[in-house]
Amino acid sequence: MRPWHFALLWLALFVAAVASGVDLLSYLAYLILFVGGAMWLVSRQTLEGLTVSRQIGQAYAHLGDTIELRYELRNAHRFGKLWLEIFEESNWPEHLPGRVLSIAGSKDRKWKVLVKALRRGRFELGPIVMRSGDPFGLFATEQRIDAPALILVYPKVEQLPRWQLPGSQLEGGVLTGQRSLQATSMVMGIREYRPGDAYNRIHWRSSARHRALQVKEFELDKTADMWICLDVDSHWHRGEGESATIERAVTVVASVVAKALREHRSVGLVTSGGRAEILRPDRGTKQFGKIMQFLAEVQADGELPLAETLIETTPRIRRGSSCLIVTPSLDRQWVRPAATLREFAIATQAVVIGSPLVLDDRDRTRRNAVLGELAVAGIPAAHLGVDDRVDELFAQVAAA
């Protein structure tokens, strides 16, 4: 019953009691008035002394992971609360489950909620809403607790056993002459083991020969930069959900980035928005987090064609680097700039993302033409169809 329903009932009884002079109707009118006032006072007390907090198990997750949200409700009041509804507002892809409970005086209650990351992106949680009221449901009370929190959902990272990191096309690497604390492809020499050295850097043959532990020292290789060009031109991206071309393209990029960084390569990223957006190559977990944060929010809303992106980016890529192009584009115009990269001694590969929509004969012809021109240009390319698995990427190229 809503408050105005209650007021109409009391008014009807009061008018009937005055008009008829029946004492019973007068008693009922006063009783309803008394109950209404008492319930209003009770509703004002239902949220007093209550505090609620939330903790997040992790600030970021990959697509498909489960995130744990832990809640704690405390009642500092000496009286208990009969019923409370607690839920959270957010831009999470699906509704976060709430909870209806009661709590005794001077007690606390804890519970957790498990939610699955079904879509990549940046999601904000809060505020937390508490609702209660009187036992008859006449008067509702609500309190909103500001508890802002941010969750980043990174794209899924797949294993790529068939794909090999492209090497430099230069004869010999261009070395910096500086020792590196990270393992690289260039071994500079060996030295005696020191406390704190990683065990996986011990050179056992040299250790046996010198009868003392020897570890490998590495040198930075300036030709080890790897650039990834992600095409986000909205003209060519199709589909929705996990099968969308942008989602599969982002998954490919994230998987390549993870593998390259695990093998201690410097990785950079280029995307085509209103202009080419560039993340300079770097190594380590910091670069992984930086690229993943970017990929978590990237959308197929670019306006710059892939050909123009490659032309604009080519002068920034150092000779001896490598480049991977990930695109759904069926426009052959971008093949020529990609071939130019090879002419500048930049090892180039391409992944063409297949559309989830049914292609007509014209689109199939255009796709085959792009793959054919890449083959003529000597650029290893793989086509990722809508039903193909990302972890089998470059399987045919590896077999060849």
Q: Does residue 158 carry a pLDDT above 70?
A: yes
Residue 218, pLDDT above cutoff 60: yes
pLDDT single digits (tens) 337-390 = 999 998 888 999 999 999 999 888 999 999 999 999 999 999 999 999 998 999
Mean pLDDT of the chain: 87
H/E element holding 67?
Answer: strand 66-75
For the stretch 23-70, pLDDT in tens is 888 888 888 888 888 888 888 889 999 999 999 988 899 999 999 999
DSSP 264-277: T--EEEEEESSSEE
Q: Is pLDDT of 179 > 60?
A: no
**pLDDT at position 169:** 45
Predicted pLDDT of residue 398: 55
pLDDT over 80 at 286, yes or no? yes
User: At residue 219, does pLDDT exceed 70?
Assistant: no
pLDDT tens by residue, 312-342: 999 889 888 999 999 999 999 999 999 999 8
Q: Which tokens sit at 149?
A: 């929190």
Helix (H) or strand (E) holding 7: helix 3-20
Share of the chain above pLDDT 90, in %: 56
CA torsion through residues 206, 207, 212, 214, sign: positive
Give, in degrees to the nearest 5, the angle at Cα 118 between 115 and 122.
90
Look at residue 290 in the predicted model and tell me its pLDDT: 94
pLDDT of residue 261: 92
* Residue 177: pLDDT band with limits 50, 70, 90: very low
Residue-by-residue DSSP string for 169-184: SSSS--EEEEEESS--
Q: Do the domains spanning 50-154 and 222-399 agree at the CATH topology level?
A: no
Instruction: Give the 3-state secondary structure of residue 359.
Output: coil
Q: Above pLDDT 70, what percent of the chain?
A: 90
Q: How high is the pLDDT of residue 167?
A: 60
Residue 180 pLDDT more than 50?
no
Q: Which is the CATH superfamily of the domain at 222-399?
A: von Willebrand factor, type A domain (3.40.50.410)
Instruction: Write down the domain spans for the chain.
Output: 50-154, 177-221, 222-399
CB 247, CB 118: distance < 8 Å = no
**Identity at 197, one-letter amino acid code:** D
Q: What is the pLDDT, as a whole number, of residue 186?
A: 55
Cis bond upstream, residue 127 (ω within 30): yes
So what's the pLDDT on residue 288? 95
Unique residue bearing structure tokens 């009642």: 75
Of the CATH numbers 2.60.40.10, 3.40.50.12660, 3.40.50.150, 3.30.70.20, which one belongs to the domain with range 50-154?
A: 2.60.40.10
Mean pLDDT computed over 135-140: 83
DSSP 8-state code for residue 78: S
* Model pLDDT, residue 144: 95
